[in-house]
Amino acid sequence: MPDLFKPEAAAGIAVVFQYIISGQGEINFYCEIKNGECEVKATLHDTPTCTLKMEATDFLDMMNGKTTPMQAYSSGKLTIEGDIMKSQLIEKLFNL
């Protein structure tokens, strides 16, 4: 995800996206955006802004631009908990 990050779009933004990826390739990681930087850690965050849950294959499709986060959410492939409005920043902050 850091390779897809657009620092120029992150001015003034502070958000933590927790990802819970299930299925083959299962992993929990978070992506913290602050001060124009993107930090990714393979663990659970204590207080994420929002948590995104999806299957590994659907996550890879989203990261490879085969589907947008909004399409994944609308089709039920992506579940969002917490501040759902902040999740809309994903498309702004990353080249998907």
Name the strand (E) or helix (H) holding 80.
Answer: strand 78-82
What confidence tens digit (pLDDT) does each residue in 13-30 have? 999 999 999 999 899 999
* pLDDT range class, residue 6, cuts 50, 70, 90: very high
Query: 78-82 and 27-34: which strand pairing?
Result: unpaired
C-alpha torsion angle, residues 28, 33, 38, 43 (rounded to 10): -20
Residue with tokens 């294959």: 57
- Domains of the chain by range and CATH? 2-91 (3.30.1050.10)
Name the strand (E) or helix (H) holding 58.
Answer: helix 56-63
Query: 37-41 and 27-34: which strand pairing?
Result: antiparallel
What confidence tens digit (pLDDT) does each residue in 51-67 have? 999 999 999 998 888 99
The pLDDT of residue 96 is above 80: no
Q: What pLDDT is recorded for position 40? A: 96
CA 93 to chain centroid: 10
Residue with tokens 């990802």: 19
CB 93 within 8 A of CB 17: no
* pLDDT range class, residue 68, cuts 50, 70, 90: confident
